[in-house]
Amino acid sequence: MKMPKILILGSTGFVGGNIYNILHNLYPVFGCSRKPGQTAKSTIHMDLDDVTSWENIFRIRPDVIINASGYGVVKHQADPEKMKLVNYYQPYLLKKYLDEQHSGYFWIQIGTAFEYDLGLGELREDSAAMPLTDYGISKLLFSRYLESSERKNFLVLRPFAMFGPGEDPSKIIPALLLAQKNRKEIELSSGAQQRDYFFVQDLAHFIARLIEYGLDKVAGEVINVGSGRPMPIKELAEQMSQTVPDFNPGLWQWGKIRQRTNEGKVFFNASQKCEELGFMQTPMPEAFKKTIDYYYQH
């Protein structure tokens, strides 16, 4: 059986980088570089801002393209027009170009749970897709484009809250760990918000199982990816603290700041679809250790 060649858009980011690191041990995998001079054997020059670079995709003719690129996940990425450009318009133009030029490929879209109305709490694939953030709206626009296209050579994965190596330091898990590592107090909300957290590398392993299963069997579908178990952020942190070296509870200042007014109390994946298709979770102690090792060594 032919090994599929895989191209990962956004391969230097948090999600894309972890997908690359897992899949390159299993398949011929290529990443993307925005700088022409920084390509390598397993990297092509491909920049969504530079249309002329798109033709480099035909040098490798990938069987699977994973779009893990995105803008708006972290606090400093706050420009709504850029969200629309990066999350919707550029991928739309790229996929339209590829559909016209390259018929034999499958597109895996890394969407987000923020495409739903998070106020519903229990979220399934048929839950109302009525996002309330610019980020969620821009990601949903591209999902809607895929769903309305004639070709069903795509799959939309909507992961819930992920953590792991390479996440931006402004996010809660890295922020907590860096506070311990640097011995600095960090002011936090109550931590009562309940989220559906899982280890980011589990998404990569799930993608590998879907490829082995046969992407044609899930073509045109939307699949939520999450543990299915909401957990207060403070409880998650307390579990992680058992693995943190020389843990100092006084550094995590819970209840010092107010929770954001537009932040939902609880939302989680209430669908079992991903589990039925082979999604498996790394045990939390192991996931915490890998994450802690990364932030303590970098």
- Whether 1 is in a domain gets the answer no
- Whether 233 is in a domain gets the answer no
Structure tokens at 210: 């879907």
Minimum mean pLDDT range among 34-38, 86-90, 136-140, 271-275: 34-38
What is the DSSP secondary-structure string of the chain? Answer: -PPPPEEEETTTSHHHHHHHHHHTTTS-EEEEESSGGG-BTTEEE-BTTBGGGGGGHHHH--SEEEE---S-SSTT---HHHHHIIIIIHHHHHHHHHHHH--S-EEEEE--GGGS-GGGSEE-TTS-----SHHHHHHHHHHHHHHHSS---EEEEEE-EEE-TT--TTSHHHHHHHHHHHT--EE------EE-EEEHHHHHHHHHHHHHH-GGGGTT-EEEES-S--EEHHHHHHHHHTTSTT--GGGEETTSSPPPTT--SB-EE---HHHHTT--PPPHHHHHHHHHHHHHH-
- Whether 248 is in a domain gets the answer no
More confident residue, 260 or 242: 242
pLDDT band at residue 34 under the 50/70/90 scheme: confident
Cα distance between residue 255 and residue 190, in whole Å: 4
**Number of independent structural domains in the chain:** 1
Q: What is the mean pLDDT of residues 63-72?
A: 97
- Whether 17 is in a domain gets the answer yes
Q: How high is the mean pLDDT of the chain?
A: 94
Question: Which domain range does residue 219 map to?
Answer: 6-167+197-228+267-283
- Whether 142 is in a domain gets the answer yes
pLDDT band at residue 103 under the 50/70/90 scheme: confident
Strand partners, 155: 108
Q: What is the mean pLDDT of residues 116-125?
A: 95
- Whether 97 is in a domain gets the answer yes
For the domain that residue 31 is a member of, what is the CATH number?
3.40.50.720
